[in-house]
């Protein structure tokens, strides 16, 4: 009973962070599509403002994007370990998706910079690219562990290492 409550509590505690990351990835995708079309808005300052506001919102919501590691679940059942790795990997996958969207935005802006003949647009695009470089999307757990696409591999490595250690110490506790 306590294990299922623990599982439910851990999964539910990660839902707000996953929703925030999913929404950010979707918004980055839409921003890139609008940058590619450039028919819905005029000027790059509006796009820069949208990007800036999205980074502000993500910065304020970092406390909801958390990582929890219940060691008891990893030791008890391998199936629960795999479930935990999958759930814990989702923020890294979503963060990687957002980073990919930001890279797409950079490419789109570079294309517009190359093809634009308007000096005002070129200046706005260069400012936009500088802001993206100065303020990249980066999420960290406890301001130490980066949340990115390498997170699932790191978690799998951690679980495998501790599983091997537990197996090696198993004979000490046999009766």
Give the Cα separation of 127 and 18 in Å (integer): 31
Task: Return the closest-CA partner of residue 139 out of 59, 67, 29, 28.
Answer: 59
Specify the pTM: 0.51
Please state the three-class secondary structure of 22-34 as a single string: HHHHHHHHHHHHH
The residues, ordered by sequence, that sit 6+ positions from 25 with a Cβ below 8 Å of its Cβ are: 94, 97, 98, 101
- Please, what are the averages of pLDDT over each run of 10 residues along the chain (175 residues)? 57 69 83 76 77 82 55 48 72 84 92 89 91 85 78 80 85 70
Can you give the pLDDT at residue 61? 74
Q: How many domains does the chain have?
A: 1
Range of the domain at 157: 2-173
Tell me the torsion sign for CA atoms 56, 148, 27, 114: positive
């Amino acid at each position: 009973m306590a294990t299922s409550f623990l599982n439910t509590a851990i999964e539910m505690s990660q839902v707000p962070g996953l929703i925030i990351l999913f929404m950010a990835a979707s918004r980055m995708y839409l921003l890139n599509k609008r940058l590619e079309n450039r028919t819905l808005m005029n000027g790059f300052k509006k796009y820069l403002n949208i990007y800036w506001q999205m980074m502000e919102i993500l910065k304020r919501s970092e406390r909801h994007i958390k990582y929890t590691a219940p060691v008891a679940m990893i030791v008890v059942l391998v199936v629960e370990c795999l479930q935990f790795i999958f759930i814990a990997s989702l923020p890294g996958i979503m963060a990687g998706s957002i980073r990919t969207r930001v890279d797409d935005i950079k490419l789109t802006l570079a294309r517009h910079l190359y093809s634009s003949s308007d000096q005002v647009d070129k200046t706005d695009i260069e400012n936009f690219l500088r802001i993206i470089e100065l303020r990249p999307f980066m999420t960290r757990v406890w301001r130490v562990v980066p949340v990115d696409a390498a997170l699932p591999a790191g978690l799998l490595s951690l679980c495998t290492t501790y599983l091997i250690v537990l197996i090696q110490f198993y004979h000490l506790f046999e009766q």
